Structure 1
Amino acid sequence: MQRELRLDHVGRRYGPRGPWVLRGVDLSLAPGTLVRVEGANGTGKSTLLRVLAGIDAPTEGRVTGRPRTAYVPERFPPALPFTAVRYLTHLGTVHGLSRRAAAHAAGQWLERLGAAAYAGTPLARLSKGSSQKVAVAQALLAEPELLVLDEAWTGLDADARAELERAVAERTASGGAVVFVDHDPRRLGDAPDATYTVREGTLHRRTDHTGAPAGPRVAVRVRGPVGGGLPADVHRIVASAEETAPGAHLLTVPASHSDVLLRTLLTARPPWHVVSVHAPEEHR
């Protein structure tokens, strides 16, 4: 069973007399949640993510309930003495996979992110975009319970950006938690369960409806066994679910999560029938 990560009165500064970068941070991350963190440069966003990922220890306060965690940093160090696939295979074994399973997962993620052609290329010779794909792949290898993404979409091409959004949906649908920072306010616009802003080292939950514009949504009409509820994972993916008739439901989902929703419905036992997929206003 996955655990809830808690930060209680966490503060962080660098050096015994350095200024406080974070102070008084309280945060709970339940399994299956997607959290966006915003804030101007230099406010402490990256430091917060490093504390969440376990890279930095808090100077004060406590972090409890830490799940298996993976992290994509803002800057990936490419000058390491490995090829892409050897690096990923090595990290997979560090995360507890067998060497065979790690190599298989490495190949899968390089393929999904459009970097399979560079599997045998030394990291130092990869372009910035290809290095970023390796950085994303290493975080997804072992299906982490907490995925922390610090500007992880930066440098990726359009296909890889979309694939990372699908991976985020897969993680939350399977009960993992994801925390992300991204400079594009439209990124996963309708998907986050909560949005926090870091201001002068303190954390504030956004409760209004201003800020990041909502991303596109998709309406999905489905039919399943009468008297049977929707598969449990569906409720982690959709923004809303309405039973329109016995066994029939209208689901609204962020467009970035639609592929994962359809796969979840079609692979359920028994499988659900997808009647239609369209923009929400089209079903009226």
Structure 2
Amino acid sequence: MSVRLVGIHHRYPSGTVALRGVDLDVDPAVPTVLRGGNGAGKSTLLRIAAGAQTPTAGAVEDRPAVVGYLPDRFPALLRLPPRRWLDHMARIRGLDPDDAAERADALLTELGWSGDDDEPMAELSRGNAQKIGLAQALACDPDVLILDEPWSGLDDDAADALTGLLAARTGATLVTDHTGTASGLPGARVHRLREGRVATAADPESVPLPTAPPPGALMRIDMACAGDPRPLLERVLPPARVEGAAPGRFTVRVPVPESDAWLAAALAAGCAVRSVRPVRPAADTGRLPMSHGPRRAEGPGR
């Protein structure tokens, strides 16, 4: 089953927008490769895909229970020795520690591990730290494997070994790579990320400019909140077409050009985003009036 990233939008507390409505299917049959410059949003998208970060809007669909994830870097002050860290990660995942250790040992041998088993992770060389990270990501036998720059810091032999491991893998794989190595994996589908948008067209170097939404296009926004949302809807938030409101959550429709500003206002008011989806044209008659107050949900034809 494919892992699907749907309408992923992410804004950091500083106000920086990292991702702008990314849609991406991670096919289990072939590797999915993301390219892009520094600051394009690649690492943010991978953290969201892995479940390590919650997007401002959008959803990750069909993510399996077992995810292998290699971040772009480890915490700077990680003091655990490598084998103890691998054992810790295996126990967090609920794996049998002995089985996980055996798989990790085989992977480290293949990758050419040459580090000191008693040395803190923070003091390992870049290459040996990368090998430990790869071992923890692969040893859990993941249904989806998410790797952020996995060839970075590896010597030639280790890089070749990793390429062989990924080429032989079955299951969904999502990888970022600035070296160009991943593009040569069998059947690899390469997408380019630039300024928070991903191009899925045949030419991965092109990023199509967003087309203007059709007149009257709406976004359906489902929000979580504390308590009764009606005071927020009536007195705090910008006008919206309210589909439904109940303690702890509410759903509105907002014109597409106004959706970013409306989301920003809702987040500033302490709400949390549950989902943001475009309204299918056939599902909207255009007859729901704008209002601040909740009203009964109206379906097609009402």
> TM-score scaled to structure 2, two decimals?
0.63
C-alpha distance in structure 2 between counterparts of 1:106 and 1:209, whole Å:
35
Look up the match of 2:120: 122
5+ unaligned residues in a row in structure 1: which ranges? 212-284
User: Cα distance 1:59–1:210, how it changes in 2: closer, same or farther (>3 A)?
Assistant: closer
Q: Is the 8 A contact 1:34 1:194 kept in 2?
A: yes
Alpha-carbon shift at residue 77 of structure 1 (Å): 2.7
C-alpha distance in structure 1 between counterparts of 2:22 and 2:115, whole Å:
43
4+ residue stretches of structure 1 with deviation over 4 A? none
Q: Is the 8 A contact 2:30 2:186 kept in 1?
A: no
Look up the match of 1:180: 175
Q: Which amino acid letter does the alignment assign opposite residue 129 of structure 1?
A: G
Q: Which amino acid letter does the alignment assign opposite residue 16 of structure 2?
A: P
Q: Which amino acid letter does the alignment assign opposite residue 203 of structure 1?
A: V
Q: Which amino acid letter does the alignment assign opposite residue 208 of structure 1?
A: D
1:81 aligns with 2:76: no
Deviations 1:237-277 (A, max 9, x none): xxxxxxxxxxxxxxxxxxxxxxxxxxxxxxxxxxxxxxxxx
1:40 aligns with 2:46: no
Partner SS for 1:118: coil
1:64 pairs with 61, 64, 71, which one?
Answer: 61
Look up the match of 2:150: 152
User: Cα distance 1:59–1:83, how it changes in 2: closer, same or farther (>3 A)?
Assistant: same
Superposed, which structure 2 residues align to 1:6-45 within 5 Å?
6-15=4-13, 18-45=15-42
Deviations 1:155-199 (A, max 9, x none): 11111111111221232xx3x111111111244425343111112
Q: Is the 8 A contact 1:34 1:179 kept in 2?
A: yes
Alpha-carbon shift at residue 153 of structure 1 (Å): 0.8
Superposed, which structure 2 residues align to 1:230-241 within 5 Å?
none
C-alpha distance in structure 1 between counterparts of 2:81 and 2:111, whole Å:
16
Partner SS for 1:56: coil
1:50 aligns with 2:83: no
Q: Which amino acid letter does the alignment assign opposite residue 22 of structure 1?
A: L
Q: Is the 8 A contact 1:5 1:28 kept in 2?
A: yes
> TM-score scaled to structure 1, two decimals?
0.66
Q: Which amino acid letter does the alignment assign opposite residue 164 of structure 1?
A: L
Percent identity over the alignment?
A: 40
Alpha-carbon shift at residue 135 of structure 1 (Å): 1.1
Q: How many residues align?
A: 205
C-alpha distance in structure 2 between counterparts of 1:210 and 1:19, whole Å:
24
Alpha-carbon shift at residue 19 of structure 1 (Å): 2.9
User: Cα distance 1:150–1:129, how it changes in 2: closer, same or farther (>3 A)?
Assistant: same
Look up the match of 2:95: 97
User: Cα distance 1:208–1:202, how it changes in 2: closer, same or farther (>3 A)?
Assistant: closer
Q: Is the 8 A contact 1:85 1:107 kept in 2?
A: no
C-alpha distance in structure 2 between counterparts of 1:167 and 1:97, whole Å:
21
Deviations 1:195-252 (A, max 9, x none): 11112211111413879xxxxxxxxxxxxxxxxxxxxxxxxxxxxxxxxxxxxxxxxx
User: Cα distance 1:190–1:97, how it changes in 2: closer, same or farther (>3 A)?
Assistant: closer
5+ unaligned residues in a row in structure 2: which ranges? 207-302
2:191 pairs with 173, 179, 196, which one?
Answer: 196
Alpha-carbon shift at residue 117 of structure 1 (Å): 5.4
